Structure 1
Amino acid sequence: MATTPEPESTPSSSTKEEKRPPVEPLRLPSMEEIRGQDIWNNCAVRSVVSGVMGGGIGVMMGLFLGAFDNSVMQEEMSAKQQFIYQAKQMGRRSYSSAKTFAIMGLIFSAAECVVEKARAKHDTTNSAIAGCVTGGALSAKGRIART
């Protein structure tokens, strides 16, 4: 029996369609999601949240760095006095760091939000401008050096 050669397979349109990812339907946000986005897009809310989070980070940094402060008179103190002194130092350092980080977070977030809304763009230029504003605001309390 003679067999006829089978025709070479050519890529059909059905194999091309199988390689495409499936199309998923568009999901619209719910009313709760829209309200949440509207609240988060408010510059005051963003600034306050950033200030609170900055304060929390400042407390942790202050406690960590305050543990490394050494007293000049530690050899003369008892263990109880050293513990009390160290706890007070950590408290002072954490309060100071918390205040600085909270102010820094609040100013940066507010400046970035205002610049973003004014420019109507979301890019790194907004962050750079906000960083300059934050640095200027934090250094404005410093005194002018007299020579």
Structure 2
Amino acid sequence: MATADGEAPRPEERQIEPLHLPTPEEIRGQDIWNNCAVRSVASGVMGGGLGFFMGMFLGALDNPIMQEEMTTKQQLIFQAKQMGRRSISSAKAFGIMGLIFSAAECVVEKTRAKHDTTNTVVAGCVTGGAISAKGGPKAACVGCAGFAAFSVAIEKFLDRHS
């Protein structure tokens, strides 16, 4: 901040802002948000919402196989059904993914008492393994490695832990 004549203010002229302590409501809000169950459910709901909208968008892009033989009304009905199916399917998948990842990351973070990339790797591995466990142990291992790598890449891209 410069003075009227363009010079930098002297140290004795600078204003010191008062210290702002959190209110009891802010502390309670932080305590609630630091609960792993609350954080996981919120992530699951947000993931479900994202998946719903992605499914609607991708469902709208599906073209019927016999498009030339369908009337406009039939095409609109087909598109609406596809959008509904895709949005529900994507909402479930993204919701479960968000819930598992957030729960795993929160538990690992609280157990280790550190906030770093290792938490992301473990949470990604748990999530990928859990999602692909139906395919057997080999699929679970590949899912673990793939989701952990993806999670670290996103973490580095967002640069959250620096």
**What TM-score, normalized by structure 1, do the two folds share?**
0.82
2:69 is the alignment partner of 1:115 = no
| Structure 1 counterpart SS, 2:42 | helix
Distance 1:41 1:117 in 2: 10
Tell me which structure has the larger Cα radius of gyration. Answer: 1
- Distance, in Å, in 2 between the alignment partners of 1:22 and 1:86 is 62
User: Moved runs in structure 1, 4+ residues, more than 4 A?
Assistant: 19-22
Q: Which moved more, 1:18-27 or 1:32-41?
A: 18-27
Q: Larger % of helix: which?
A: 2
One of 79, 93, 96 as aligned partner of 2:86 = 93
Tell me the equivalent position of 1:42.
Answer: 35
Percent identity among equivalent residues? Answer: 73
Structure 2 CA distance for aligned equivalents of residues 91 and 78 of structure 1: 20
* Cα pair distance change 1:16/1:78, threshold 3 Å: closer
Instruction: Please give the TM-score of this superposition, normalised by the length of structure 2.
Output: 0.75
Q: Does 1:66 align with 2:88?
A: no
Shift of residue 39, structure 1, vs aligned partner: 0.3
Aligned equivalents of 1:86, 1:64: Cα separation in 2:
11
Alignment deviations for residues 93-146 of structure 1 (CA, whole Å, 9 cap, x no partner): 11110000000000000000000000001112111211111101101122578x
More off after superposition, 15-24 vs 124-133: 15-24
In the TM superposition, what is the alpha-carbon distance from 1:71 to its structure 2 partner? 1.1
| Equivalent residue number for residue 83 of structure 1 | 76
Cα gap change, 1:20 to 1:130, in 2 (>3 Å): farther
Q: 1:128 aligns with which of 104, 111, 121?
A: 121
CA RMSD of aligned residues (A): 2.0
1:18 corresponds to which residue?
11
Query: How far apart are residue 62 of structure 1 and its match?
Result: 0.3
Please point out which of 42, 47, 50 is paired with 1:54. 47
Shift of 1:50: 0.4
Provide the residue aligned with 1:30 in structure 2: 23
Where in structure 2 are there 5+ consecutive unaligned residues?
A: 1-7, 139-162
Deviation at 1:72, TM superposition (A): 0.8
Q: Secondary structure at the match of 2:134?
A: coil
> Matches of 2:137 and 2:63 in 1, distance apart?
31
Q: Comparing both chains, which one has the higher relative contact order based on Cα–Cα distances under 8 Å and sequence gaps of 6 or more?
A: 1
Call closer, same or farther: CA 1:79–1:144 in 2, change over 3 Å.
farther
